[in-house]
Amino acid sequence: MIKCIRRVQFCAGHRVWKHENKCAHLHGHNYVALLHATAPQLDALGRIVDFSYLKESIGAWIESHWDHGFILYEKDTEGIEALQRIAGQRLYLMQENPTAENMAAHLLHVVAPRELRGTEVQVVKVELWETENCYAEASL
């Protein structure tokens, strides 16, 4: 299999609901998402897809929904209420706790198929780096 991998960097806040330790506090990361894409065949120029396409589709979704926003679990009513007091604060609610694992899975299973609809390109793996030392990976 040939894959192409697009790196997308973004800044976002979150907290891990009911975390046993410091991740229960509202805090942020300089996240890096690595989008691993493939297609049934290469195009006439020998590409899976132009790298810029991944940036303009999935990258644009990340930029408008997650970048410089907070990502919270929809059951985290205390966190949601606190952030909703700030006018205009970008807030993205997830059906799961916003861990790196769940965020990677969300990009893989929800965002990528929707943003790439109508193309033969498929994201088969997402790595979501929270720090230089920690990342989670979701794959088909």
What are the residue ranges of helices labelled H in the chain?
51-54, 60-65, 77-84, 100-106, 112-115
SS3 94: strand
Q: Is 101 a catalytic residue?
A: no
Q: Is 68 a catalytic residue?
A: yes
Residue showing tokens 């929904």: 65
* C-alpha to C-alpha distance for 62 and 8, rounded to whole angstroms: 8
Q: Is 134 a catalytic residue?
A: no
Q: From the candidates 19, 25, 27, 68, give the one annotated as an active-site residue.
A: 68
* C-alpha to C-alpha distance for 127 and 140, rounded to whole angstroms: 12
Report the catalytic residues: 23, 68, 130
